[in-house]
Amino acid sequence: MTPRPSTVGALRASGYPDRTVKQEVAANAAARLRAGKPIVDGLVGFSETVLPALETAVLAGHDLIMLGERGQAKSRILRSLVTLLD
């Protein structure tokens, strides 16, 4: 097993892709959709309204603002988006 890079210079020299968080999330979301998996797991009742808009926004690299009444899964959606990071 090779040692992990300890500096930014070593990370760049290792060939690790230099991309923004939005690019990383969009790429991982696209990979999940290609595999037939949803971007957000475990949400019931949002498949025709919220999830298509969320998928479009994530794939396009938009900023997200979650607005809504209490209990509408805003925090759950945001927590599940973290799984799209490498």
pLDDT digits (tens, 9 = 90+) for 30-47: 999 999 999 998 888 888
Q: What is the pTM of this model?
A: 0.79
Q: What are the tens digits of pLDDT across the range 16-34?
A: 888 899 999 999 999 999 9
Query: Nearest Cα to 84, choosing from 47, 8, 33?
Result: 33
pLDDT(3) > 90: no
Residue 56 in tokens: 């479009």
% of the chain at pLDDT higher than 90: 60
d(CA 83, CA 29): 10
